[in-house]
Amino acid sequence: MSEKLQLWADVNDLLALEADLMDRKQWQDWVNLYTEDALFWMPAWRNEDSFTEDPETELSLIYLPNRGIADRVFRFTSGDSYASTPLPTTSHTVGSVRVLADDGEHVTVSAKASVITMDPRTGVTPRGVWYDMKLRRVDGELKIAVKKVTMLEKTIDGTVDVYNV
């Protein structure tokens, strides 16, 4: 298998594993897919045609820098997040995976996902998202260094959190 094809397969495996760990609520294993300094970001809609671009100066739906994802997981698994209790069931399907660049240390990736959330309080919510990611090679394996999630819904119905996008 060529190096390029092997990299594409490795990226697909990582994204499929991430989706599976979220759906099975294996949170510590999911957090371990991220680097220590990982950024998880979901920009907000600026207007009908564009999204915010700078999480430091503009509104974001989710902004978790520097491993803030581990703190968020602790919050919704400890029962301290009333909006996430009980935690909904999810089904993530990831596809259209593209490896855009590989500089030897980082791999830039884009993908699309469909996420179904089944919440006993609000029912079933389908959601479409784009993933733009930067993966980093750490000790011979790929880890998620940056995950930007662009939610295609302009009107949000229900709860939005790291587990259902």
Digit-coded pLDDT (tens) for 34-61: 999 999 999 999 998 999 999 999 999 9
Containing 132, the helix (H) or strand (E) segment is strand 123-138
Judge whether 124 and 118 are in contact, CB under 8 Å.
yes
CB distance 112 to 149 below 8 Å: no
Q: Rounded CA gap, 40 and 158, in Å?
A: 20
d(CA 47, CA 50): 6
Choose among 142, 148, 146, 140: nearest CA to 16: 142
Can you give the pLDDT at residue 83? 64
pLDDT tens for each residue of 114-164: 999 999 888 999 999 999 999 999 999 999 999 999 999 888 877 888 988
Q: What pLDDT is stored for residue 165 in this prediction?
A: 92
Q: Judge contact between 134 and 108, C-beta under 8 A.
A: yes
The answer to whether the pTM exceeds 0.85 is yes
Give pLDDT, residue 82.
Answer: 64
- Counting residues of the chain whose pLDDT is more than 70, the rounded percentage is 97
Query: What integer pLDDT is reported at residue 33 of this predicted model?
Result: 97
Beta bridge pairs of residue 99: 109
> 102 vs 122, which has greater pLDDT?
102
Strands 123-138 and 106-119: antiparallel
What is the pLDDT of the chain when averaged over all its residues? 93
State how far the Cα of 143 lies from the Cα of 18, in Å rounded to an integer: 10
Fold of 3-164: Nuclear Transport Factor 2; Chain: A, (3.10.450)
